[in-house]
Structure 1
Amino acid sequence: MSADHHEQTGGREPAHGTRVPPSPPRPPDPPDAAATWRELLGREHLGAAVVLAGGVLAGAINIYLAASLLPTAVADLGGASFYAWNMTVYLVAMVIATMLTARSLSAWGNVGSYLAGFATFTVGSLACAASPAMAALLVSRGVQGLGAGLLSGLGFAVVRSALPPRLWTRGTALMSAMYGVGNFAGPALGGLFAQFGAWRPAFAAMAVIGVVCGAIVPRALPRGERGERGARAAVPVGSLVLVTAAAGAVSVAGVVAGTPAKAAVLALALLLMGGFVVHERRGAHRVFPEATYRRGSSLKWVYLTIGVLTFGVAVESFLPLFGQRLAGLPPLVAGFFAAAVSLGWSTTQIGSSSVTGRRAVRRLRVLGPMLLAAGLLVQGLVQRADTPGWLVLVWVPVLFAAGAGIGLAYPHLSVAVMTSTRDPEEGGRAAAAIATVTSLSIAFGTALAGILVNLGGSSMLDSARYVLFGFAAVCATGALTAYAADRTGRAKP
């Protein structure tokens, strides 16, 4: 990673008169080779690690927690017609909040921003627990999503100041692993509470987590620098509107009836994202750092690779359905089979983050998407209408291998983003955008999976193959974007 900064900035200073320190961040690779997980989780850095990882985990758990609780909540509150909007409201709110991370850090600093994030998440969770009607639950989920999105964005942005450079790769791996843990724990915890009809206590438990993590913040994190009046990060209103509209359209695509309607809404979302890119290139106030749009920069390819990897995670939304319909698995068992992707993601990252050689890191960035695509392809090939038990057991290592592809590449891609600029403010914006890309990609992936399932019609086997083969094709493009990032970086003087 020691060459990533020079590769992505080309040795040029950031534009628009930003204050630039005399030298770039110290490359994390050589020190990180000697760093250990014990050092990261030792007394000096344990508090920071808990806050950073806890914020990401809280948001990740709640993506799928409510999905397991909703049937019980609907039986209590009614409002079945709003059922599908629960995930929509939460994901859109998360995307909006991740885009406001730079503004939050500029206005309140590290500690103030984290306290605001945990407070918003806690209030939203308590409001969910006390909701008297489904409409109130949806509004509360939006508030909860705002807090979760801010915490996710802050995690990647604050790691640059909360941890020394030698621990950036480990810290990033720990946080990104929380997405996998959340995808595994969310349905499990939701199902456990729903088993006893206790959907309200589930949200109350999330509020307790928010309070506990928030209490650690003042002692665990450096306060960070606030921007002075007039110099604080401006709210990127145009970009915010376009991305919010795109995220909303993607979420709507997941709930409208009929494949043509879904495809039309998804096409609208892609057009809005195209408008977002055009606006970002020309606008003065951006969500992504200026280097993303600079000719010859590899940063855009790094973001695209992160997006493709996290896009593949969305396949988990429908794997339980395939397990139940094609293999006759009980819902709880099918859910744990599907979580093998997240388990592979989380487990592999711990080992992958120990790799520091420049060539090895570049190979992992390309290998990750290839392994993810290969795993999904094989999973599609082994689908059967009446899957025998022995073949069901094959699903676990195959799905684990697919998730391992994400874990191999994700932490190194994240560190490439964090070391992409000399300016601390631009670096924070670049790191926070990782969470924006992740949230958007999961939303787009979920919508596309819904369209592919519908293409199968009455045949669940066809639906499973459409989803798995389609996702394999998309994820395979990540190897091309990772190679483009490598090649663009090497072309720099």
Structure 2
Amino acid sequence: MSSDDHEQPGGPKPADKTFVQPLRRDPVGAPPAWRELLGREHLGAAIVLAGGVLVGAINIYLAASLLPTAVSELGGESFYAWNMTVYLVAMVIATMLTGRFLSRWGNVGAYLFGFATFTVGSLVCAVSASMAVLLVSRGVQGLGAGLLSGLGFAVIRSALPAQLWTRGAALMSAMYGVGNFAGPAIGGLFAQFGSWRLAFAAMAVIGAVCGAMVPRVLPRSERSSGRVPIPVVSLLLLTTAAGAVSVAGVVAGTSAKAAGIGVALLLAAGFVVHERRSELRVFPRTTYQRGSSLKWVYLTLGLLSFGVAVESFLPLFGQRLAGLPPLVAGFFAAAISLGWSVTQIGSSSVSGDRAVRRLRVLGPALLALGLLVQGLLQRENTPILLVIVWVPVLFAAGAGIGLAYPHLSVAAMSSTPDPEEGGRAAAGIATVTSLSIAFGTAVAGALVNMGGASMLDAARHVLFGIAIVCGLGALTAYAANRTSRDGQNPFPSGP
């Protein structure tokens, strides 16, 4: 925590009490039941916060199922691969601006703008007359989705009482898993009947309905009266890095993919160097201080999200190695997201500092182990009995994300009592998640190419390679636990 947060005479500013309720630090007290979060008092806020994250997550993969049908009508096959690239880069940009929107327009204004942008983008997607228009509208849709994803975590601090932060973070996190599961299924359903435009129209309706609820269910927050500066250099560096990663995911050839990933790593390093020295930054100042736990929390969240990238390729492996029909292969792949979402229901009930610390380390270790075992189970002409084993293994891998993600999210949100810095820390969760999914997808694409003509080798390269990267999350989680235990940057294990 920054010394700036404590050097003011008389303690924190009175405004802090308006935005951030006192943290409940009782390590043995059980978190409130889910019915309190989903009860009448907080249900509307929960729907808006979760709905914003959900529509963004669904639309990451929704278009992938719709594009073959759209291309047959619109043409523009050469732009096929850029559809997800444009959307993900737009999402990353918007998540980085979440704190600025909150400061300038407050909770309600920022959410209304986010839902309006997403709805307009979805409507233009639905009426697109060419692939070029569809790509531009996907970018607009991505901007709205990214803002909503960032707001989902950032507004938890003011929309829910502190004792519900863990439940709220679990709900927001679960929406990524549900979206990854539902996106391909919904897209495939509409594509099956040749109604790809209706899928985007349905997304617009959902966005409009949630937007209409905002003024009635969200608390209004104070807005900054002055001009809110934008960290232009940080935004350019990280946006360019996201673009390089996304391009690496669509170009052909291992060398080209590796070059794109290498450029992205250099730009990300430049981003960190600049942020450490600048007064205008995307992430809170706490992130870059020596002895800070927050940087390790973000790294662990990123490594957990990195593992989700394998879902893009699991349907391919299921079809080629086991002869599964496309629909069945897609549902097999969704076992990771299902495990992620379901596990969080129980994980968010865990209280106690020691138990939470263990879950933070266990989560990435279980994710890595699940992917490693899945790699060992890959075979040419895989027998059906072995295919059946894939489901619990992939579910267990996803459960690793669900065990740790909500507690890491609360650690980030609770890293500072300052409302502006706290909102920035919370919005950073969505930025890290979106960027890591994009980065992981590009790396997985490069690993597939390394397999050459052998689909079995490609599957093993992806699963073993991603498992090794995700396994590093256990080390970063341990570092976060150790740093907070030393008291250099104390944060509660949960409110």
The alignment status of 1:14 with 2:29, answered yes or no, reads no
Q: 1:108 aligns with which of 80, 105, 108?
A: 105
Output one character per residue of 1:147-170: Cα deviation in whole Å (capped at 9) or x when no partner: 000000001000000000000000
Distance, in Å, in 2 between the alignment partners of 1:317 and 1:295 is 37
1:173 aligned residue:
170
Match of 1:338 among 313, 333, 339: 333
Which residue, 408, 431, 455 being the options, matches 2:426?
431
Tell me the amino acid that sits aligned with residue 205 of structure 2.
V
The answer to whether 1:153 aligns with 2:150 is yes
Q: 2:140 aligns with which of 140, 143, 146?
A: 143
1:243 match: 238
Partner of 1:227: 224
Pair 1:330–1:28, CA change in 2 (3 A):
farther
Deviations 1:169-198 (A, max 9, x none): 001100110000000000000000000010
Give the counterpart letter for 1:130 in structure 2.
V
Q: What one-letter code is carried by the residue in structure 1 that aligns with 2:465?
A: G
Q: Which of 200, 206, 211 does residue 209 from structure 1 map onto?
A: 206
Mapped partners of 1:34, 1:415: distance in 2:
13
Determine the C-alpha separation between the residues in 2 that align with 1:42 and 1:385: 50
SS at match of 2:449: helix
Relative to structure 1, the CA distance from residue 274 to residue 15 in structure 2 (aligned partners, 3 Å threshold; closer, same or farther) is: farther
Residue of structure 1 in register with 2:481 after alignment:
486
Q: Deviations over 1:385-430 (max 9, x none)?
A: 1100000000000000000000000000000001101211000000
The alpha-carbon deviation at position 17 of structure 1 amounts to: 8.2
Distance 2:355 2:31 in 1: 16
SS of 1:386 mapped into structure 2: coil
- Give the count of matched residue pairs: 482
Partner of 2:443: 448
Kept in 2, the 8 Å contact 1:119–1:211? The answer is yes
Structure 1 residue matching 2:226: 3-state secondary structure? coil
Listed as ranges, the matches of 1:51-450 within 5 Å are: 51-230=48-227, 232=228, 234-450=229-445
Contact 1:69 1:193 (C-alpha < 8 Å) held by counterparts:
yes
Quote the Cα distance in structure 1 between the aligned partners of 2:309 and 2:25. Answer: 31
Displacement of 1:257 in angstroms is 1.2
Instruction: Return the offset for 1:16.
Output: 10
30, 38, 45: which one aligns with 2:42: 45
Instruction: Give the whole-Å Cα distance in 1 for the aligned partners of 2:455 and 2:375.
Output: 12
Instruction: From the superposition, tell whether residues 137 and 462 of structure 1 become closer, same or farther in structure 2 (CA, over 3 Å).
Output: same
**1:247-285 deviation line (CA, Å, top 9, x unaligned):** 000000011111011101110000000000011001111
Amino acid at match of 1:409: A
Q: Is the 8 A contact 2:301 2:408 kept in 1?
A: yes
Structure 2 Cα separation of the partners of residues 131 and 481 of structure 1:
45
1:488 positional shift: 1.0
Mapped to 2, the partners of 1:282 and 1:337 lie a distance apart of: 46
Maintained 8 Å contact 1:452/1:463: yes
Amino acid in structure 2 at the alignment position of 1:255? V
Taking the aligned partners of 2:467 and 2:199, their CA distance within structure 1 comes to 35
For the 8 Å contact 1:58–1:182, the answer to whether it is kept is yes
Provide closer, same or farther for how the CA distance between residues 15 and 135 of structure 1 changes in structure 2, counting only shifts above 3 A.
farther
**TM-score normalised per structure 1:** 0.96
Indicate conservation of the 8 Å contact 1:29/1:356, yes or no: no
Instruction: Verify the 8 A CA contact 1:33 1:355 in the aligned structure 2.
Output: yes
TM-score normalised over the length of structure 2? 0.95
CA distance in 2 between partners of 1:84 and 1:426 (Å): 37
Which whole-Å CA distance do the structure 1 matches of 2:201 and 2:255 have between them? Answer: 40
Structure 1 counterpart of 2:364, one-letter code? P
SS in 2 for 1:254: helix
Q: Which runs of 4+ in 1 moved over 2 A?
A: 12-32
Distance 1:292 1:91 in 2: 24
Query: For structure 2, which runs of at least 5 residues remain unmatched after alignment?
Result: 489-495
The 3-state SS of whatever aligns with 1:33 is coil
Residue 492 (structure 1) shift? 2.1
Report the Cα distance in structure 1 between the residues aligned to 2:226 and 2:259, rounded to whole angstroms.
44
1:30 aligns with 2:22: no
Q: Distance in 1 between matches of 2:284 and 2:12?
A: 14
Question: What is the identity, as a one-letter code, of the residue corresponding to 1:394?
Answer: V
Matching residue of 1:6: none
Distance 2:362 2:23 in 1: 23
User: Are the structure 2 counterparts of residues 340 and 485 from structure 1 closer, same or farther at C-alpha, using a change threshold of 3 Å?
Assistant: same
Q: Given that residues 170 and 353 in structure 1 are in contact (C-alpha distance below 8 angstroms), is that contact kept between their aligned partners in structure 2?
A: yes
Residue 29 of structure 1 deviates from its aligned partner by 5.0
Name the SS of the counterpart of 1:68 in structure 2: helix
Post-superposition Cα deviations, 1:213-271, rounded to whole Å, max 9, x if no partner, equal 001100110011101214x3x21111100011000000000111110111011100000
Residues 224 and 327 of structure 1, relative CA distance in 2, 3 Å threshold: same
Structure 2 CA distance for partners of 1:336 and 1:28, relative to 1, 3 Å: farther
In structure 2, relative to structure 1, the CA distance for the partners of 1:483 and 1:25 (3 Å cut) is: farther
Q: Is the 8 A contact 1:86 1:138 kept in 2?
A: yes
Distance 1:15 1:75, change over 3 A: farther
Distance 2:420 2:7 in 1: 13
Backbone CA RMSD of aligned residues = 1.6
**By how many angstroms is 1:204 displaced?**
0.1
Aligned to 1:355, the other structure's residue is in SS state: coil
